[in-house]
Structure 1
């Protein structure tokens, strides 16, 4: 495997489009109020992707350290685990995490100093969610059924408000509202992963939302979370928070229905990948709706 391929495998490069889509939505929301900067957008994408990659590598490192990740774990069977695949040593994985985090924080600090101080609380919250997602043995967010709320906050309000603020210099209540369905669907990706791993996590004495709910309630919750963003978006259009192009998200509904049907029959091995497809499809059509709204107002 080439060096770039090894790097992308170790940082779970397949998951980065979720970050990119959140940044893109926040930036496009800013473009509805004023002309934005493509260079600032690319810088935010780079910084957020590094932060996301760091969260992934820290997660793998601490799961390995605490004995959660083993070669027999469902996640390790589904995807290549950097350490188990022989791509990186555990110590090197930790140092890589520190490097990724340091560069991401430097980019964030530069943007906060040069663009807007509103970024500081978002950076601090993002850092907290990143470090405490798996870093505390027995008390980390991931192990105490708080993983989904953490992912919701990170990929919804934190990234989208931060991306908007970099372009405009201020925060927006409407962007916060817009980030809610986006955050829910990214949290659904983790929930899908935890539904698949429920029995394994129970054996490891790990508390997740899926282990607490059990199989039947867990599936009902999955279905509710999958469709909730559509109801929220419809309500936004009805309340004039979003203009009528917001209904374009309905074009992603077939993907969501297909995912829900698949999970209802049998939770797939590639559970998080299927849920990611659902989230990215929704985000794509939400982006289209924002772009159409911009064109209408020109």
Structure 2
């Protein structure tokens, strides 16, 4: 299909950024007006912490969604696959109804499911499709791995907030599983993608070590406090380390394939 192009790659990155920032604003707004953030263990948020008016936070969310929709429409036009507009609309809806609307799915323990689908499969395999008009198995593996780490980010955040979320009626997956099982689920979500990278050995050979080398120590640093029983603010380092695992995984995998197929 002519391969990936720089304009399409840039548009895909811009789209991902707009939706990521938009969902954070939307989550901040919806949790804030519901009163979920009135008692918060983590860093203060804009709406709940009184740092910005609810209307301005909502406007920022809608602005990000609008810009993302515009960028996405251009990307769809370049790819020539107009059915992708439906995927984009679903992504925006998922971003808003995570904590917005009358029955937010994030309050029902389904947050990780949607994060895996949209932050993993759609963001990774979907981006590949817009570039190549196809999705090789390596991209599906990367999509599942990135989605799993994204779920871990949400899980460790929700483990920290189990007491306050349970009190406010926010039944996240961590609340439903309970503290001990939620910690095990988190550790699995971080460890499995790193171990799954070994499946790339047949495709990348020794370059697979380029992926594993930075991810293994970061994963260990992320998992250790969670399994040792850290609570509240003591879980913030794990949240940070999990984010670095996801970043390192993506960058290292990109570098490995760039070297393997210059």
TM-score tier (shorter): 0.7 to 0.9
| Alignment-derived partner of residue 122 in structure 1 | 87
| Alignment-derived partner of residue 59 in structure 1 | 27
Q: Which structure 2 residue ranges, 5 or more long, are not aligned?
A: none
| Alignment-derived partner of residue 56 in structure 2 | 92
| Alignment-derived partner of residue 260 in structure 1 | 223
CA RMSD of aligned residues (A): 2.4
CA distance in 2 between counterparts of 1:93 and 1:292 reads 39
Task: Please list, as runs of the form range in 1=range in 2, the aligned pairs for 1:270-285 lying within 5 A after superposition.
Answer: 271=235, 274-285=238-249
CA distance in 2 between counterparts of 1:286 and 1:106 reads 26
Which whole-Å deviations, capped at 9, do the CAs of 1:132-160 have from their partners, x for residues lacking one?
211123x2121000111111222111111
Equivalences, count: 259
Deviation at 1:223, TM superposition (A): 1.8
Deviation at 1:86, TM superposition (A): 4.6
CA distance in 2 between counterparts of 1:56 and 1:159 reads 16
Divergent runs of 4+, >6 A: none
Quick one: structure 1 residues 248 and 51, their matched pair in 2 at CA, closer, same or farther if it must change by over 3 Å? same
CA distance in 2 between counterparts of 1:203 and 1:128 reads 27
TM-score by length of 1: 0.77
Quick one: structure 1 residues 244 and 97, their matched pair in 2 at CA, closer, same or farther if it must change by over 3 Å? same
CA distance in 1 between counterparts of 2:178 and 2:94 reads 26
CA distance in 2 between counterparts of 1:122 and 1:222 reads 28
TM-score by length of 2: 0.87
Deviation at 1:262, TM superposition (A): 1.4
Q: Which structure 1 residue ranges, 5 or more long, are not aligned?
A: 1-32
Which whole-Å deviations, capped at 9, do the CAs of 1:44-85 have from their partners, x for residues lacking one?
222221111111111111112222121x222xxx32422355
CA distance in 1 between counterparts of 2:208 and 2:86 reads 29
| Alignment-derived partner of residue 207 in structure 1 | 171
Partner SS state of residue 269, structure 1:
helix
8 Å CA contact 2:183, 2:227 repeated in 1: yes
CA distance in 2 between counterparts of 1:232 and 1:66 reads 39
**Higher relative contact order (Cα pairs below 8 Å, separated by 6+ residues):** 1
Deviation at 1:295, TM superposition (A): 2.5
Partner SS state of residue 56, structure 1:
helix
